[in-house]
Amino acid sequence: MKNLIQQKLQANINDKTTKYIFIIAFIAFLCAGIIYMHFSWNSSIKETQEEVTRLAEAAEAGISKTQLLELNGDPSDLDKLNYQELKNGLILFSKLDKKLRFVYILAQRQDQIVFLADSEEPDSSDYSPPGQVYSEAYREYIEPLQSGKTVITKPIEDRWGTWISVLVPMKKPQTGEVMAVFGVDYPTETWYGYAVTQTVQAGFAVACIFMVFIALYFAFSQNRALSIEKQKLMNADVKLKESETLFRTVFDQATIGIAIGHDEQYIASIPDHIPSINPMYEKILGRTQEELTAVSWKDLTHPDDVALDVEYYNKFKTGEIDGYDMEKRYVRPDGTTIWTHMMVSPLRLNNNTRYTHICLIEDISKRKEMERVLYDNQRSRMVLLDNLPGMAYRCCHDREWTMEFVSQGCFALTGYHADSLINNKEICFNQLIPEKYQEFLWMKWEERLSEHAKLTEEYEMITASGEVKWVWEQGQGIYDEEGNIIALEGLIIDITERKKQEIKLNYMNHHDTLTGLYNRRYFEEVMDREKTLNVKKAVLLVDLTNFTLINQTFGYNFGEKLMKELASNLLLICSQNCRLFQISSDRFAFYIKAYHNKKELTSLCSTVMDTLNTMPALKTVGASVGIVETDDCSDDLDTILKNALIAAENVHENQIFRYSFFNKKMEEAVMREAEIKSELSMVVLNSEDDRLFVEYQPIVGAKTNQIVGFEALARFQSDKLGRVSPLEFIPMAEETQLIVPLGQRIMRAALLFLKQIEEKGFNDIAMSFNVSTIQLLREDFMSDLVQAIHETQVTSGNLGIEITESLFLNNYQEINQKLEKLKRLGIKIAIDDFGTGYSSLARERELNVNCLKIDKYFIDKLMYLKPEQAITGDIISMAHKLGHLVIAEGVEQEEQRQYLVENNCDLIQGYLFSKPLLPEAAMEILERKNPRENSKPI
């Protein structure tokens, strides 16, 4: 009994000891649990602080400080593109994380904290416009401005609620000076949510341990309640499985990748078949758990990120850092890369040598792509602006043209760096513009802005070195919704070189290259500008008659030197109302205005004559001066100069230097010429116009008096002037190139008449017509003639063309070759008006001609000279010796015919036999006087 009592006593003592031990242990575990929960709370808060700090600092780093510097912190920022871009960025950032509520930028303005921008839409009741004072700002909001360090505030209550704010200082890139604060507000319930969750989980674990502790206590202390204790153990086991299930569920469904690793390898699994790599980790990396455990994480890391990752891991492994996080790229099996945010933390378990760390990764590829697009857009914009030829700008609409933005081309254009002009830091743009352009440019801008139109203007600019440049500016106004001007934007380009070329070209266009005098083009501009000037005006034309002889005799260098000397001498005559122009290589023109009477013009002519007389070389060629008074404002310069030239050509030729005024008679001659040219032009346009027609003058044998051919002679009957001589209208037709279509019409008429003659049975009658130099030198003359012969089906051997001696003065070889081709076709060639030209005997022998027509001048002389004095017979004899047939033109008297017969002239043509006749009369005289069997060709 005593032993039993002792045993019970010992048992009671043991029970008490055990109870005390369990109580002490319970208190110890309770304290440890509280400490652990407190540690979990603090760790969660710290992790939250680190995460939001990184997020806020990353967002702050992505904000352009240059854009921020351009904000004023007042309502004027609402109209700025930089403000809109900044605000859109804040709105986008606020939507990236549902945990945060407000994103904003604060700045200190005059001892007050004001908003520069926030993440709220303008129509939101929580919206804070730029410049709004944050009157509820606490001391914590000023601290980052002063210390330059990131600050996380305690819970602060204001009119929007209770918040915890992350305040990141924003510094100027150049100086590091804090210029604003980037703030992110988190509701307190969101802020502490993660910590509460972690603490609850820690409390749950502590509770589990306490339950096990209690179970052990009851099992140890109450052996008699084994069944109850067993049930409790079973209940604890169920809860443990629930915890495991919860762990597996959270592990498998987590939105971030989770993996447990050992050094550089992934762990396949942990005891009880709990996976070490969750499905999200596999999804992000594109590999299964089996594939991951077979490789090192280094093998999966992008080569560019391996070095930094290894550096961090080595520090983590040696205990230098307690975990780390970084943004890195993994390479998937298909070769693509994926951006992740990776966090590595130590995995500390008792008696654990297998697991060293836990790795968490989050897919941030979309965010990175957005950052890349944003960066590329910003970079492209800056590259475009910096590589524009010139300076792109945005400025205020003020007299100083205060610059808000200028591209890097500013330095090359102005010599000033871009920041020197921003907000007139060192110099305002208006100071670069010469004073003479400042008001002009302002008025031009006002004019274009009032019309909402673009400005395009050229003006001068003074660079930093003092160089004056020409620039071209194109810009336009930027308007708000109400149409108010908020800024000016545009581009300014250096056009100095182009301007120099323009000035050079303008000089060349307006000046003679040899003498430097204003030329005819500029003279026309002056006359056009002063057309309505109500003063007396006149033009004095100086025509150097044969200046080409100077060049041929003394050489072109001497001629150019003489021309420059003459220009200099004539310039001495000029005055304010008397200007000198060079209108061609050998003609000058004085433009005189505001003179009083004709006597002043005569005096000027005398002065010009005296000047010409001082230059001996000019006396060898002579000069004439024509003066035209231009009272009629309708006359153009071409007409005035033409009239002046007519006056110059009508001076008396008995003086070396002479002058003449354009008078009424000359004017009538000019009007007559204009009328003839006008009617000729109309004739060309209408093939049925009968004002131009052809008459045919017979050519007869000198001895037989039989018709051997006809010469087709052009005739013109003007509606206003009546019959016009060929000597008058043919030169005009040649001058205007109308001779080509007119000549073709005459040629075709002659061929058609020849066809009629041949159809009448006169197969040996010749037909000749005159051809001018202009016609003969045309490339299509031969082809046109051959085509006309083919169309009319006439005998080419009955055709003849007549040309003058003067035709051979120029282009001798070319013309002679064409004549040879005509002769090969059987066409006869005659030199018309022979004896009045400049042909030499040597050249006469070489000419491809058949006949010489002696000019009427020599035939007329036969009536006044004795036979032994006349040279006509000598001409006939010479022509025969050269193998040419001879025709005498203008034979009107029997005595003339008799002389020609006696000197063996072959054929005659003139009024003695017949005047030129219309086709019907010509055919009649042919049939009447010329038996067919006696007709002979030329």
Q: Where are the alpha helices (DSSP H) in 294-429?
A: 297-300, 303-317, 365-386, 409-414, 418-421
Q: Partners of 540 in the beta sheet?
A: 590, 627
Structure confidence at residue 278 (pLDDT): 87
Structure confidence at residue 4 (pLDDT): 44
| Dist. CA 171–CA 181, nearest whole Å | 9
Give Cβ neighbours of residue 798 (< 8 Å, ≥ 6 apart): 709, 754, 758, 763, 764, 765, 766, 767, 937
Sign of CA dihedral 864, 870, 871, 877: positive
Q: Phi and psi at residue 568, in whole multiples of 5°?
A: -65, -40
Structure confidence at residue 380 (pLDDT): 62
Closest CA to 491 of 453, 439, 450, 455: 455
As a three-state string, the secondary structure of 449-508 is HHCCCCEEEEEEEECCCCCEEEEEEEEEEEECCCCCEEEEEEEEEECHHHHHHHHHHHHH
User: Within 10 A of 551 (CB to CB), how many other CB atoms are there?
Assistant: 17
| Dist. CA 315–CA 301, nearest whole Å | 18
Q: Phi and psi at residue 398, in whole multiples of 5°?
A: -140, 170
| Dist. CA 534–CA 541, nearest whole Å | 22
Which amino acid is residue 510, in one-letter code? H
Structure confidence at residue 696 (pLDDT): 96
User: Any idea what the Cα angle at residue 796 is, between residues 794 and 798, rounded to 5°?
Assistant: 85
- Per-residue tokens: 548: 């080409």
Q: Is 100 exposed, middle or buried (0-12, 13-18, 19+ CB in 10 A)?
A: buried
Q: Is the pTM of this model over 0.85?
A: no
Give Cβ neighbours of residue 380 (< 8 Å, ≥ 6 apart): none
Q: Which residues of the chain have pLDDT under 50?
A: 1, 4, 7, 934-938
Q: List, in order of start, the domains of the chain with CATH numbers.
A: 63-187 (3.30.450.20), 388-500 (3.30.450.20), 511-662 (3.30.70.270), 693-934 (3.20.20.450)
